[in-house]
Amino acid sequence: MARVSVLGAGSWGTALSILLHENGHDVTLWSIMEEEVNMLIKERENKQKLPGIEIPDEIIITNNIEEAITDKSILVMAVPSKFVRNTAKLMKEYVSSDQVIVNVAKGLEDETLYTLVEVINDEMPDNKVAVLSGPSHAEEVSRKIPTTCVAGCTDENTAKIIQDLFMNTNFRVYTSTDVVGIEMGGALKNVIALAAGISDGIGYGDNAKAAIMTRGIAEISRLGVAMGANVQTFNGLSGIGDLIVTCTSMHSRNRRAGILIGKGYSLDKALEEVKMVVEGVFTAKAALDLANKYNVEMPIIKKVNEVLFTGKDTKKAVEELMIRDKKIEY
């Protein structure tokens, strides 16, 4: 049994804290939002984000960061990507170097172009930081629907510890030491999901979506490899696996936002309608900046940026992708 804290009480943090409790661990769930903590303590359910899923009484729910960090061996960071640095800043006053941090958020920091593990290590350089990623909607994990993920850490033993922590009969976990590959797959699939949603919203068919997914993973791999990742990781759960689920599921807020944009909504209107954080919008620009930095061609991600931030007509963007220079496939 491990003493674990999950930081961030949204859909994913709540689902993971229940899973960890069911695996026999001693779990604390922390949120920065006092009202959210009070609501969760009172209701023992997140009616808005994970309706119908009971949060067991044994899970301690707190707004106190010191209580969340002290005496825990593993700290799972489950806040949306844009809050990762600030949460790490709050944590670092209480963290000791033997605590393992597991990041489950997906994204990039747009000002620095850092991956989230780099952001966490920037704030807490002495801690081992692992990741858990893969096709894993909280709505399904919380209903014990079979799910597979990959636990990554540059230190293989730590990856195995994280595998053991999360794994059960409904949740199978593989290990990897390719943290950059896992992070880039998880972050950039959200941008490709926006493109897949836009294609669906325009009314294009399965052929177009399959093309976006296949060429999408090709461009994600190109950038990932330039950044030092292993190309095989992009064929795995955190690469093509997560891309498939995000581009095809209605649970995906990135795809839902894309559908609205494809139907003609402005970016602001689409975000207002989806209500939740659409991480692909934040990641799109950072991905393009990284593509320029590493001199890698990312045509789909470039067009998504033009649609989102310069108001380019969606059909025109697709047409421009279709008439690019002729290429060899691989």
Ligand X SMILES: NC(=O)c1ccc[n+]([C@@H]2O[C@H](COP(=O)([O-])OP(=O)(O)OC[C@H]3O[C@@H](n4cnc5c(N)ncnc54)[C@H](O)[C@@H]3O)[C@@H](O)[C@H]2O)c1
**Which positions lie near ligand X, rule CB under 6 A?**
8-13, 31-33, 36, 49, 78-81, 83, 86-87, 104-107, 136-138, 276-277, 279
Q: Give whichever of 145 and 210 is closer to ligand X, judged by the CB atom.
A: 145
Q: Give whichever of 277 and 291 is closer to ligand X, judged by the CB atom.
A: 277
φ/ψ of 266, rounded to 5, equals: -75, 165
Q: Give whichever of 107 and 262 is closer to ligand X, judged by the CB atom.
A: 107
| Sequence-ordered alpha helix ranges (H) in 128-205 | 138-141, 156-166, 179-202
Q: Which of 189, 209, 285, 303 is catalytic?
A: 189
Q: Give whichever of 127 and 136 is closer to ligand X, judged by the CB atom.
A: 136
Angle of helix 253-262 relative to helix 267-274, nearest 10 degrees, comes to 140
Q: What is the DSSP letter of 239?
A: I
Is-catalytic flag, 209?
no
CA 30 – CA 11 distance, rounded (Å): 13
Task: Name the residue whose CB lies closest to ligand X.
Answer: 10
* Sheet-wide strand order for 147-152: 60-62, 26-30, 3-7, 74-77, 100-103, 129-133, 147-152, 171-176
Q: What is the DSSP letter of 115?
A: B
Give min distance, CB of 165 to ligand X, in A: 16
Q: Which residues contact residue 148 at a Cβ distance below 8 angstroms, ignoring those fewer than 6 apart?
A: 134, 135, 136, 171, 172, 173, 174, 237, 241
For residue 105, the one-letter residue type is A
Q: What is the DSSP letter of 54?
A: B
Give min distance, CB of 182 to ligand X, in A: 12
Give min distance, CB of 275 to ligand X, in A: 9
Q: Give whichever of 196 and 202 is closer to ligand X, judged by the CB atom.
A: 196
Both tokens of residue 308? 């989102």
Give min distance, CB of 214 to ligand X, in A: 22
Give min distance, CB of 59 to ligand X, in A: 14
User: Which residues does the annotation mark as catalytic?
Assistant: 189
